[in-house]
Amino acid sequence: MSLNKKMIVWIVALLCACPTFVFAARAESQSLETLLAYLKSPIAGTRRDAAHKLGERRVRNQLAVEALAVTARRDEDREVRAEALQSLGMIKDFSALPEMVDALKDTNPEVRRVAIKALVALYTEHDIDFITNRRAGWNLFNPFLDTNDHEIVEPYYSVDPTIVTAIGESARGDRERDVRISAIRALGVLRGTAAIPHLADALSADQDLRIEVLRAFIKIGDPSAGPHLTPFFRDSDHKVRTQAMVAAGMLKYKPAVEPLLSVYGLGPEKKGTFKKVGDRVKGGLSYLPARDEAALWALSLIGDERAEQTFVENMTDKDADRRQYAIEGLARIAEPRYQDQISRLVLTEKNGDVKLAEYWALYKMGSTANIQYIVRKLETDQEGQARAYLMEATSPADLYPYIQASSKDVRRKVIEILGRIGDRDTIKELDPVVRTSSASTADIATVAIKRIEWRISGRPRASDSVLVRERPRRATNP
């Protein structure tokens, strides 16, 4: 292309873009008064745009909040009502909570779904699009949470019980299935323990809704959901019974041990091999195991002595996953008499995931030095597995030497883990990191310290400054 032609193309492109630039500049310069006036426009598109821009400003202006609340309740256009609700969630002013809760009864199902998402956004906006989206796929490290579904608010957040109850009612009784699914997902994000009875009622619905409830139970993380899981251990649907069993395992629900042992005793299904739901990925769990294997997996997560013999029987199984579950179960029992046997097995084990589980078992059984083999994996493709093991460290002090690891990546990941499991002594270990490290590492250490303090005190203090805007905790691999 000649220089002149290139110049013409460039000028045409610039002229086409000019209206966009002008509009953006004009939108940026619009005053609060102008946007409030636009909320009264007879043109629905103008009202919707004004509601959107008021949310983008994220300013807790009482006039803006009141105007958006009125719009959310009264506007005749459903898209305008939905936009107003979304903006109220972004502004995070609880004075509009009555209007946001009332929107859960809106005549339009899409507005009700947006209301649920907006109520969650009062506490977090990170990665919550999945609440109102179709599922995108299966998480490789946790088949119970899809690739866009890992959000959980921090345990020290106190969610307004009005919100939990209202969303719980939507989960149990909304006439639209998609709205019920959104409500169920939202309760998982908000750790809605008080809504467990509502979710239990929803378990009687169709299969996909049942699976959503089981995932929510996992995220809520309260063992009181356990009694609602055991009836589904022998469900006719492969996915439902697998999720029910492993959910009981992840919740450490000990009364499930005997029912799980009973299911394990049934053996695998008589019809063929287990159903795959994706390619087998190293370090991942992207499959539905056979019935008895799912029971073994759940038992390994609980780590109860009643399953000890079952674990021993599977330590040398030809299937790597069964070996891994068996070793992990013994690790959680932490019975030292298996140290010698596992020490011999680790020398000949070819599967990397099983070998890592064996090192973890040796560590849990009292050989503290073996934690080094787990820490090293934090910068490999086994990071998820290693991180999950370290989250169950016998003592935070076992990780202190690695705060000064030679690898920057390892240092930062260890500090982040300590923020999740640490105690008051951990704060003393991290204080020097804040003072002497690079800005990025110091920030990670600061967040870790604050997370420990908030967990101990039960909530953030008003005097605490927010240093890093970060993602709340991901649901971890067991």
C-alpha dist (Å) from residue 61 to 67, 147, 215: 10, 36, 37
What's the rounded Cα separation, in Å, for the pair 410 and 379?
6
For residue 433, give its domain range.
Answer: 395-472
pLDDT tens-digit series, residues 451-461: 999 988 876 65
The reply to whether 165 falls in a domain is no
Which of 92, 122, 152 finishes a domain?
122
| pLDDT at residue 157 in the model | 84
| pLDDT at residue 206 in the model | 75
Tell me the CATH number at 88: 1.25.10.10
What is the DSSP annotation of 176-241?
A: SHHHHHHHHHHHHHTT-GGGHHHHHHHTTS-HHHHHHHHHHHHHH--GGGGGGTGGGTT-SSHHHH
Tally the domains of the chain: 2
Contact 128, 90 (CB under 8 A): no
| pLDDT at residue 30 in the model | 78
What is the DSSP annotation of 428-463?
A: HHHHHHHHHS-HHHHHHHHHHHHHHHHHHHSS--TT
pLDDT tens-digit series, residues 245-275: 999 999 999 999 999 999 999 998 875 444 4
Tell me the CATH number at 468: 1.25.10
The reply to whether 239 falls in a domain is no
Is the pTM here over 0.85, yes or no? Answer: no
Which of 60, 91, 122 finishes a domain?
122
For the chain, list residues with pLDDT below 50.
1, 3, 5-27, 135-148, 272-286, 462, 464-478
| pLDDT at residue 15 in the model | 44
| Own/partner long-range contacts of 164-169 (Cβ < 8 Å, ≥24 apart) | 164/190, 164/192, 164/193, 164/194, 164/195, 165/194, 165/195, 166/101, 166/104, 166/119, 167/104, 167/116, 167/119, 167/192, 167/195, 168/192, 168/194, 168/195, 168/197, 168/198, 168/199, 169/104, 169/198
What is the rounded (10 degree) CA torsion for 422, 426, 430, 432? 180
Which of 95, 122, 149 finishes a domain?
122
The reply to whether 450 falls in a domain is yes
Contact 469, 277 (CB under 8 A): no
The reply to whether 146 falls in a domain is no
Contact 356, 362 (CB under 8 A): no
The reply to whether 231 falls in a domain is no
The reply to whether 38 falls in a domain is yes
What's the rounded Cα separation, in Å, for the pair 201 and 183?
13
The reply to whether 16 falls in a domain is no
The reply to whether 272 falls in a domain is no
